[in-house]
Chain A
Amino acid sequence: MNRSVESSAPTPPPPGPRRGYWAGVWRQFRRNRAAVVGLACVMGLFAVAFLAPLLANRYPFVWTASDPETGRTVTSFPLVRQFFAPPEKVVPERVLEMTYNYLLLFLPCAGLVWWASSRLGAWRQGRWLLAPVGVLLLLPFVLVQPRLDPTPYRRLAAQDQGQGVFPPVPYGPFEQGFGNRIPPTWWDDESLEGARDTYHLLGTDNAGRDVFVRVIHGARVSLAVGIVSVFIATAIGILIGATAGYFGGCVDLLLSRLIEIMICFPTFFLILTIIAVMEQRSILNIMLVIGVTAWTGVARLVRGEVLKQRSLDYVTASVALGARSSRTIFRHVLPNSLAPVFVSMTFGIASSILLESGLSFLGFGVDIPTASWGELLNQAREAPAVYWWLALFPGLPIFFTVTIYNLVGEGLRDAMDPRLRMGPAA
């Protein structure tokens, strides 16, 4: 997924063994205007998620202030420091955050390496550069010391005690104290007692945090949950589906029963149960649980494809040559049967984003201070008509994200196999 995000260049048939096939798929895909728009929107969304700390943060990029003792002008980079600083407490949410930050640096560099070396016609040699580049970019994350920075830069700037270049939205995702549940500033200015020097595009939530900032940062959670859980589900699904399809007989019978039961089992209830039983709320649990419960579609697809491939001559040839079953499956059969899996992965991302926000809405979501779209919606539940900005705005990005993923999925499905017609996320 990440590769397809950064290689948004005009000719992105990704480098792979079946260039011809993917080029054909891409040509078909491009004809579907809605799907292309969807893909562009997905990339835009990823851009927002990656850039979130640079778009909305309480720390300025550059800060110049005169030292009160010496009188000299001192320049510092608070945002850069926060960007690299490792978490004080290692919890999955913070690790995810750092991963995003790292990828924000690494992906453009990797893209550059790819672009330059394929320009020189030496991608095969150039890709070895990726490892040192990756390690090099890891350095600042290791070297910068964690430090709590409570300096009220915005207020200092307002009092002319220093100058700073602030992000477009100068509030942090965990920054409190703007007043609880203030409606959007443009909506009803008179209701606020006294003059406010802060502007809240989408109002504030019940802990006095800026909703707009939390919506932006919430994109990180949603996209990560979508992708990671789908990767887990796909891995399990491929393993089970391929095993069932390849070995057949008794194994197939048992695994098919398992798949059947998992399909009909109320997934949402199952996920709720597992999460409720776990002591610690964390994003990792959610990813795992969604992944562990969502593999049935992939398993069925792969099983069907493998069943089809199994009777072909090349499989017999591989077995006759003495290859182990695992080698035959993973090296020969699977590469030929994975195409429909990509389609179901796209729909899967959409539905796991929906699931995650549903869980957060019920209060079974990510660990508490982390921003999530569903959690914001939950705050409106008591009185949706009163806290209408909390009810309305966080839902829009969920709807938008799910729609564009479904659009891309439909486009991909039509481009890959015009005969394959199934409902989204089926």
Chain B
Amino acid sequence: MRTYILTRILWAIPTLAVITFLCYALMWYAPGDPARASYLARGGETAGTMAEDEGLSDAGKLFRKRFHLDEPLHRGYALWLWRILSEGDFGVSVTVSLGTPVWQLVAQRVPVTLKLNLWATAVVFLIAVPVGIYSAVRRGSLLDRATTLLFFLLYSLPSFWVGLMLLMAASKFAPGWPTSGLSPPISGGASYWALLLETAKHYVLPVFCLSYAGLAALSRYARVGLLEVVRQDYIRTARAKGCSEPRVILKHALRNGLIPIIVILAGILPGLIGGSVIVEYLFDIQGMGALSLGALSSRDYPVIMTLFGFSAVLTLLGILASDVALALVDPRISYEQKR
């Protein structure tokens, strides 16, 4: 097992290098830079690529120097990577929050998004898995058909529209309901429980918005996975030897039936950055999604690149975690023999 994990980690390194290189190349070739983005606001000329030198402000020159954009591509990449590895220097934000180190910005935002996504994931799993199990066991029952139809429709609903509808309904039918941010404004005198309730209220709409589509997908996966398993011989054997039905399902079928779900878990980690952009935009939540959106729309390249590299790392970690989990859960998978 340990060798397996080690090989996977070693494999991840070249992949990571490729991804960060692509990321750097994207910025190197990108037309326009933060200095020019501020030009744009003043109605200045924005044509031309970064390779051109004229018309750059001092800030722009500094920025280009810092990111070695005046060097050839491969050299610039090596220098940039070296600075990150040796000094842990990701650069400072250029437009989102001028002068703040990027890692500081990220460190501020991660907890917010993490909380939001963890709650959403918890909701998804706590509802979808039981529903999926139920519909697989009672296949064709009224509830199975109803949830299948409901989830099918939910799956097709665009989350930004649902969010808009929720905002609309909230301000129409529950005018006091919080619709922006994740925590209530700090005010003295409020009791702990009142504060907790108020915070919970903030979470309801964004978490719903974030989880309903995953709900549909996951319960379908659970249902299909379990349906495949229930037909197998060993389930019949379990029944034949006199196992009670809950024991057959929960003990025997579920372990194999839920294996496909573990693969989905791999997507949760990288989803922390890109997954909640729309929801954070809708509900004014200052998380990673809002940060990336702000950075993207104002061409804050240091921030964009850090986020990009960050999500690449998370992606690889997610894959690694799901592979390891698969190997732990499924005794049929044995990686040592394969290699």
Task: Report Cα–Cα, A388/B297, bound state, in Å.
Answer: 26
Interface 9-residue window, one of A209-217, A223-231, A333-341, A373-381 = A373-381
A273, B277: Cβ atoms under 8 Å? no
B156, A421: Cβ atoms under 8 Å? no
- Across-interface contacts of A269 in B (CB, < 8 A): 273-274, 277, 292, 307-308, 311
The bracket for how many chain A residues form the interface is: 35 or more
> What sequence of 0s and 1s flags, for each residue 178-215 of chain A, a beta carbon within 8 Å of any chain B beta carbon?
00000000000000000000000000000000000000
Judge whether B15 is part of the interface by a CB distance below 8 angstroms.
yes
Contact A380:B164 (CB < 8 A) given known A272-B292, A358-B158, A422-B224: yes
Judge whether B316 is part of the interface by a CB distance below 8 angstroms.
yes
B160, A374: Cβ atoms under 8 Å? yes
Distance of B152 from chain A, by nearest CB (Å): 7
- Across-interface contacts of B184 in A (CB, < 8 A): none
Judge whether A62 is part of the interface by a CB distance below 8 angstroms.
no
Judge whether B281 is part of the interface by a CB distance below 8 angstroms.
yes
Q: Which residue of A lies closest to B173 (CB)?
A: A385
Within 8 A of B (CB), among A384-409: 384-385, 388, 391-392, 395, 398-399, 402-403, 406
Q: Which residue from B46, B167, B299 sits with its C-beta under 8 Å from A385?
A: B167
- Across-interface contacts of B164 in A (CB, < 8 A): 377, 380-381, 384, 391, 395
> What sequence of 0s and 1s flags, for each residue 59-74 of chain B, a beta carbon within 8 Å of any chain A beta carbon?
0000000000000000
Distance of B27 from chain A, by nearest CB (Å): 7
Task: Report Cα–Cα, A264/B299, bound state, in Å.
Answer: 25
B274, A270: Cβ atoms under 8 Å? yes
Within 8 A of B (CB), among A251-307: 257, 260-261, 263-270, 272-274, 276-279
Task: Report Cα–Cα, A266/B266, bound state, in Å.
Answer: 11
Task: Report Cα–Cα, A142/B105, bound state, in Å.
Answer: 55
B220, A423: Cβ atoms under 8 Å? yes
- Across-interface contacts of B308 in A (CB, < 8 A): 269, 273
Q: Does more than half of chain A's interface fall in helix, strand or loop, or is it mixed? A: helix
B315, A264: Cβ atoms under 8 Å? yes
Distance of B60 from chain A, by nearest CB (Å): 16
Judge whether A361 is part of the interface by a CB distance below 8 angstroms.
yes
Task: Report Cα–Cα, A364/B281, bound state, in Å.
Answer: 13
Judge whether A167 is part of the interface by a CB distance below 8 angstroms.
no
- Across-interface contacts of B153 in A (CB, < 8 A): 403
Contact A264:B266 (CB < 8 A) given known A362-B293, A381-B164: yes
Q: Which residue from B27, B277, B315 sits with its C-beta under 8 Å from A272?
A: B277
Contact A272:B224 (CB < 8 A) given known A362-B278, A392-B168: no
Distance of B143 from chain A, by nearest CB (Å): 19
Judge whether B51 is part of the interface by a CB distance below 8 angstroms.
no
- Across-interface contacts of B15 in A (CB, < 8 A): 257, 261
Judge whether A219 is part of the interface by a CB distance below 8 angstroms.
no
Task: Report Cα–Cα, A152/B281, bound state, in Å.
Answer: 40
- Across-interface contacts of A406 in B (CB, < 8 A): 152, 155-156
Judge whether B296 is part of the interface by a CB distance below 8 angstroms.
yes
- Count chain B CB atoms within 10 A of each CB in A261, A377, A425 and give the residue with the most: A261
Contact A266:B273 (CB < 8 A) given known A350-B156, A423-B221: yes
Judge whether B31 is part of the interface by a CB distance below 8 angstroms.
yes
Distance of B217 from chain A, by nearest CB (Å): 5
Q: Which residue from A273, A279, A398, A423 sits with its C-beta under 8 Å from B26?
A: A273
A424, B155: Cβ atoms under 8 Å? yes
- Across-interface contacts of A363 in B (CB, < 8 A): 297
A398, B152: Cβ atoms under 8 Å? no
B168, A388: Cβ atoms under 8 Å? yes
- Across-interface contacts of A374 in B (CB, < 8 A): 160
- Across-interface contacts of B319 in A (CB, < 8 A): 260-261, 264
Judge whether A354 is part of the interface by a CB distance below 8 angstroms.
yes
Judge whether A346 is part of the interface by a CB distance below 8 angstroms.
no
Distance of A264 from chain B, by nearest CB (Å): 5
Judge whether B335 is part of the interface by a CB distance below 8 angstroms.
no
A385, B158: Cβ atoms under 8 Å? no
B273, A391: Cβ atoms under 8 Å? no
Judge whether B195 is part of the interface by a CB distance below 8 angstroms.
no
B318, A385: Cβ atoms under 8 Å? no
- Across-interface contacts of B270 in A (CB, < 8 A): 264-266
B161, A395: Cβ atoms under 8 Å? yes
Judge whether A101 is part of the interface by a CB distance below 8 angstroms.
no
Task: Report Cα–Cα, A274/B274, bound state, in Å.
Answer: 13
- Across-interface contacts of A279 in B (CB, < 8 A): 31-32, 46
- Count chain B CB atoms within 10 A of each CB in A357, A388, A423, A426 and give the residue with the most: A423
30 contacting pairs across A/B (C-beta < 8 A): A261-B15, A264-B267, A266-B315, A268-B274, A268-B277, A269-B273, A269-B308, A273-B304, A274-B26, A276-B296, A277-B304, A278-B30, A350-B156, A357-B158, A358-B278, A361-B278, A362-B281, A374-B160, A377-B160, A384-B164, A385-B167, A388-B168, A391-B165, A391-B167, A391-B168, A392-B168, A395-B165, A399-B157, A406-B156, A423-B155
Instruction: Beyond the given A358-B278, A384-B167, A391-B165, please list 5 additional residue pairs across the A-B interface where CB-CB is below 8 A.
Output: A277-B27, A278-B31, A361-B158, A384-B171, A425-B155
Q: Which 8 A-B pairs have the closest CB atoms?
A: A266-B274, A269-B274, A395-B161, A276-B296, A385-B171, A402-B156, A403-B156, A279-B31
